[in-house]
Amino acid sequence: MRRAHGSFVDFDMKGFADRAEAELLATGEKVRTRTVETLLELTSQEMRISELAAGGATNPNIAEQLFISLATVEYHLSKVYRKLGIRSRMQLANVVHQVQSRGGTTNRSGRS
């Protein structure tokens, strides 16, 4: 049910997402609200990839810079999009910018 809820949110199917959320809540599960603060819950690899993507790097550029495969970049970006409840690089750039403008850090080492 959690996976279905995530998919409905990703596909912007609010009605189905609401029903899945209600079912999850009925079983005692908690549904995480997607906010800008969830950016701070990304893994360090997801964070690095997010920052590069938000800065305009293409997936092949990110793969080359981080010495990882293109498939790995795509995998991590899909996880980031799901965690943040977004669907585009523009939205990702906006989220990263919002965190930075609030004085927050966009990586776990404490550097901005």
Q: What is the DSSP string of 75-97?
A: HHHHHHHHHHT--SHHHHHHHHH
What pLDDT was estimated at residue 107? Answer: 47
Query: For 78-99, what is the mean pLDDT?
Result: 86
Query: For 29-47, what is the mean pLDDT?
Result: 68
Task: Please give the Cα distance from 97 to 69 (Å, whole number).
Answer: 26
Task: Please give the Cα distance from 27 to 84 (Å, whole number).
Answer: 24
Task: Please give the Cα distance from 104 to 28 (Å, whole number).
Answer: 32
Query: For 82-92, what is the mean pLDDT?
Result: 87
Average confidence score pLDDT of the chain: 79
- Which domains, and CATH codes, for the chain? 1-31 (no CATH), 34-112 (3.40.50.2300)
What pLDDT was estimated at residue 72? Answer: 94
Local confidence band at 4 (pLDDT 50, 70, 90 cut-offs): confident
Task: Please give the Cα distance from 31 to 20 (Å, whole number).
Answer: 10
Altogether, the residues listed in the chain come to a count of: 112
